[in-house]
Amino acid sequence: MVPFGKNINVKRRNDEPTEKEVFLDILLALEDCWKRTNHLESEVDLGISSYDETFYLIIENLIYIHYGEWKGDLILWWVFERFGENGELLPITIDDEDDEDDDGDGESEEIIITTSEELWDLLKKIELK
């Protein structure tokens, strides 16, 4: 029997990562996990979604605790829902709730986010409004 963790290689960073670097690392890892789950479900016909569901719930809740509801919703949309049924990249609709003239025109903008760095930039842009 192989001891648990024998093949795990943990490397510590010498410098303190920025919030952006941590964010990008987390999204990369979460996206990889999501792809793996979907691959095992669809290609290998190995139903592990009920096993993985608890882990995703924990991660989602930690994202909401740290980033709040609107950022959490946007982050989780990007990870889990940004692709359509045919693999096409879907736009996200951003409503302008701070419409200063308040004319009720319901202005909104559709944005295509292709990378996690673009997502980070969008979150920061909206945060500054």
Which whole number is the average pLDDT over 43-64?
A: 83
- Number of domains comprising the chain: 1
| Residue 14 forms part of a structural domain | no
Backbone phi, psi, residue 44, to 5°:
-100, -10
Query: Is the pLDDT at 40 greater than 90, yes or no?
Result: no
Q: Using an 8 Å Cβ cutoff, are 40 and 48 in contact?
A: yes
Q: Which helix (H) or strand (E) holds 35?
A: helix 19-42
User: What domain range includes position 97?
Assistant: 19-128
| Residue 6 forms part of a structural domain | no
56-114: per-residue pLDDT in tens?
899 999 999 999 999 999 999 999 999 998 889 999 887 766 545 445 566 788 999 99
Query: Using the 8-state DSSP alphabet, how is residue 99 labeled?
Result: -
Q: Residue 102: what pLDDT?
A: 47
Measure Cα distances from 97 to 84, 110, 121 in Å: 26, 14, 19
| Residue 72 forms part of a structural domain | yes
- Low-confidence winner among 2-16, 39-53, 112-126 (lowest mean pLDDT): 2-16
Sole residue written with tokens 């940004």: 82
- The CA distance from 115 to 59, in Å, is 20
| Residue 10 forms part of a structural domain | no
